[in-house]
Every structure is written in C-alpha cells, then in structure tokens.
Amino acid sequence: MIVDLGANVGAFSFLLETLLKKRGVRIPIVAVEPNSANVAFLRKQPFAKSLEIHHAAVGPTAGVGRLVRGQNSVTDRVVFSGAAEGAEIQVLSLASLCDRAALVKMDIEGGEHEILQGGLPDNVRHLVLEWHSDPASRSTSSPVNLVSGDWTLICHDIHGSSMWYWRR
C-alpha cells in the first residue's frame, strides 16, 4: 500500500496511481490531508475515486490536534498538544493507516519530528520524507538520528529540497 501523508491536492498520489496503472498494478493508495480546501479539491479530481481519502492529520497517536494556518496551504501545520489557536482536526496514528507493507510519503510541515521520535510501524517498508528543520525548537536538524533500526538511507536532500528516502 501507499500512504500519502500531507497529500495536499494529491500530486504524489496522482503520480504513483498513474505510474502503477500504466504497468497494470493496483495498489491501495491512502491520502491524508488536514486542509479542508485541499481535501475538497482532491476529492473532485478524476483519479480520486481510486484513493482512500482522509480529511485528517497524522500524529504519533490518534486523537485531536489543531490545524494552524500558514501563509498558504503548503505551510499549514498541525499542533498535537497545548495549542489554543487553529481549527480542531482529527489526528490518525500512522500505525492505524499501515495495516500491510507500505511506502509512506511524509510531508507534514514539521509533524514528522513527533512521528519519527515514536518510531515507525513495522509495516512501513519505504519512507519518502520531506524534512522540515526547525533548529530553534528541535533537538536535531537532520532526520538521520530519528530514523533508526534496520533502515537503509538510499538518498537525501535531492537537489536541495530536503527530501530523504529510506527503505528496510
């Protein structure tokens, strides 16, 4: 399965769905996006009927968080605890989304820190990560120390974009 965390308007999901379809492969794709306007746009796309779409955020545990709006939907972020600002949003755990071997794309505007600190579920076999460093409030400026265990780093910082790819 493919799990697209921070799906935005579905570009990554669309790319993989298109590539797989051309090869005659059908793999479930789950798209998770907290921004309601992005979810509405995504649901209207022709390829969306083949996706499982969740209007939610992902966090270290299931519960409720707050969606804090950024300058645009690409810079929205979810706060998991202690925030008074922002709209309430359902938070799903990564483990609840990965019920079988999965490729996970994670572009969740800083929320990756909390998820990686808790460890990745065993079913996650591939991780494509956009890393959002925040040296003022984070203990690490690199995800290398947070992705541990039997993971192999395949490539990182592709063209200066802070994209990382691991597999186990």
Domain chopping of the chain, boundaries:
2-167
Give which of 76, 99, 100, 96 is closest to 86, Cα–Cα: 76
pLDDT, tens only, 90-121: 999 999 999 999 999 999 988 898 899 989 99
Q: Which pLDDT score, from 0 to 100, does residue 75 have?
A: 79
CATH architecture label of 2-167 = 3-Layer(aba) Sandwich (3.40)
In residues, how long is the chain? 168
**Can you tell me which residue has the tokens 């789950």?**
30
Strand 2-5, strand 29-33: pairing: parallel
Q: Which pLDDT score, from 0 to 100, does residue 25 have?
A: 96
d(CA 18, CA 22): 6
Over pLDDT 70: what percentage of the chain? Answer: 93
Query: Average of pLDDT values for 67-91?
Result: 84
Query: Average of pLDDT values for 73-87?
Result: 81
Better-scored residue on pLDDT, 141 or 63: 63
